[in-house]
Amino acid sequence: MTTEAYHPGLEGVIAGKSAVSSIEGGLQYRGYDIEDLARESTFMEVAYLLLHGKLPSEEEMADFLAIYTESAEIDAALIDFLSQIPLHVSAMDVLRTGISALGHFDPQLDEESPDADIAKTVRLLAKIPILIAARHRQSLGLELIPPDPDINFAANVLYMITGKRPAELRERAMDVSLILHAEHELNASTFTARVVTSTHSDIYSAVVAAVGALKGPLHGGGNERVLEQLEEIGSHEQAESWVREALADNRRIMGFGHRIYKTDDPRAEILKRYCKELAERTHNQDLEQTADVIEQVVREQKGLPPNLDWPSARLYHYLGLDLELFTPLFAAARVAGWAAHVIEQSANNRLIRPRSLYTGPPQQRYVPIVGR
């Protein structure tokens, strides 16, 4: 009988080393505090930081953005292929397939150097929002909108989806949301990407696998469940009775609790500020009040802080984005973090192959079929 420790869900297990991000004492990307990045930086600068390990100079940032802009198009055959996928297929499933198909058109698909993987990641950063927006507008029977080279990444995300160039607050709120979603240490989807990479597979395979992990409601898909939950309540007058009844029935309140953060998720605290301001601008104060009531009761009754899903679901709703877009937009940001981990895993690789604790029957004697 084994005496080795068993950790369900690998909780608390150190499964690797990484210089990409840290959550000890607050979230940091490459040593930079998330509060500072959310306040001062942009998503594309953060993507550069994650991929290159340092903040760019003005010249480096200009070159990075130029390559991104040149990559912001998708082959017409792929756009046509997206239109053939049945409308009942979820946006995340379409995105997963679309990213896989992008690999077939990548001129550096079989190159394995860090520089090649960075180049492939820049192309993914440019093309994934186009995939998301194209599928969404196709499903609504709307004309596709190409990216505008004169506006930034966050503004283009909103523009290609809604057809409107966003006001400054909306653009900044989306930019901050993308920064906060870009990376988060060894979460389920990132671990998936590193496992795939550890087999010496390619970056597209790793990203596609990560998208599959992100889709689940216990990971990226949780933000969709948050908004459904808030809309189920109806108004802030019903919020307290609803949440107390849900807790009494041991129902899971989506958007609360985190495997790592036991007091506050710093990302949720940052995004909450944008939710407040956008709620006022978009006349969604009642929904914001509902969220405040639920947050207060869950903290009092269960001691659970809200995680990033809690404010991000409201933020995307206030930005006028449909529910099915929430998790794909998470992926559009997180691809920067996934790629940083892929590159890091490749640089010092060891096949990730843990053990399992056997719980089946003891050794059995084989009996030929005629004697059973």
Query: pLDDT tens across 34-53, in order?
Result: 999 999 999 999 999 999 99
Instruction: Give 178-217 pLDDT, tens digit per residue.
Output: 999 999 999 999 999 999 999 999 999 999 999 999 999 8
Query: Alpha-carbon distance 270 to 20, whole Å?
Result: 21
User: For residue range 57-66, what is the model confidence (pLDDT) as tens digits?
Assistant: 999 999 999 9
Domain co-membership, 154 together with 244: no
Answer whether residue 1 is part of any domain: no
Region 78-91: mean pLDDT is 95
Give the model's pLDDT for residue 174. 98
Any catalytic annotation for residue 258?
A: yes
Alpha helices in the chain, H assignment, sequence order: 34-40, 43-52, 58-70, 76-84, 91-104, 114-139, 153-162, 168-181, 188-198, 203-214, 222-233, 236-248, 266-281, 285-302, 309-318, 326-347
Residue 259's pLDDT is what?
67
345, 198 Cβ separation under 8 angstroms: yes
Assigned domain for 207 exists: yes
* Residue 48 one-letter amino acid: Y
pTM of the model: 0.94
Which of 276, 299, 318 corresponds to the end of one domain? 318
Instruction: Place 261 in a pLDDT band, splitting at 50, 70 and 90.
Output: low
Domain shared by 132 and 245, yes or no:
no
Return the pLDDT at 4. 74
Distance CA(144)–CA(137), nearest Å, equals 6
Selecting among 117, 175, 202, 309, the annotated active-site residue is 309
38: nearest Cα among 154, 118, 149: 154
* CATH number of the structural domain spanning residue 302: 1.10.230.10
In a domain, 294, yes or no: yes
Task: Establish whether 33 is a catalytic residue.
Answer: no
Please determine, for residue 235, whether its predicted confidence score (pLDDT) is greater than 60: yes
> Would you state the torsion angle of the CA atoms of residues 249, 250, 251, 253, taken in this order, to the nearest 10 degrees?
120
DSSP track, 274-309: HHHHHHHHTT-HHHHHHHHHHHHHHHHHH-PPB-TH
Domain identity same for 331 and 262 = no
For 156, residues 6+ apart whose C-beta sits below 8 A from its C-beta are 72, 129, 147, 148
Look at the block and give the residue holding tokens 């192309």. 123
Q: Residue 89 gets which letter from DSSP? A: S
pLDDT tens readout for residues 307-364: 999 999 999 999 999 999 999 999 999 999 999 999 999 999 999 999 899 999 999 9
65 and 130 belong to one structural domain:
yes
Same domain membership, residue 282 and residue 181: no
Whether 169 and 273 share a structural domain: no
Question: Is the same domain home to 74 and 185?
Answer: yes
The strand order across the sheet containing 21-22 reads 21-22, 28-29, 32-33
Q: How many CB atoms lie within 10 A of CB 77?
A: 10
The Cα 122–Cα 127 span in angstroms is 9
pLDDT at 223: 83
Contact of 105 with 75, CB cutoff 8 Å: yes
Residue 355 lies in a domain: no
- Give a yes or no: residue 369 inside a domain: no
Number of domains in the chain: 2
Which pLDDT score is estimated for 14?
85
Per cent of the chain over pLDDT 90 is 82
Query: pLDDT of 217-232, one tens digit each?
Result: 888 888 888 998 898 8
Q: Which residue, of 273, 297, 318, is where some domain finishes?
A: 318
Residues 178 and 83 in one domain: yes
- CATH number, position 90: 1.10.580.10
Considering the domain architecture, whether residues 210 and 241 belong to the same structural domain is answered as: no
Lowest average pLDDT, out of 132-136, 251-255, 358-362, goes to 251-255
**Residue 263 belongs to some domain of the structure:** yes
DSSP at 372: -
Contacts of 223 (CB under 8 A, 6+ apart): 255, 308, 309, 312, 313, 316, 326, 327, 330
Domain hosting residue 143, numbered range: 19-216+324-347
Residues 246, 204 within the same domain:
no
Per-residue confidence at 1, pLDDT binned at 50, 70, 90? very low
CA geometry: angle 213, 136, 230, nearest 5 deg? 65
**Exactly one of 258, 265, 317, 341 is catalytic; which is it?**
258
Q: Is residue 172 part of a domain?
A: yes
User: How far is residue 292's CA from residue 301's CA, in Å, rounded to a whole number?
Assistant: 14
Same domain, 185 and 237: no
Read off the tokens for 302.
């269960």
Which of 18, 93, 82, 71 is closest to 342 using CA atoms?
Answer: 18
Same domain, 85 and 166: yes
159-177 average pLDDT score: 97
Best CA proximity match to 152, nearest among 170, 135, 138: 170
Q: Is residue 353 part of a domain?
A: no
> How confident is the model at residue 224, as a pLDDT?
86
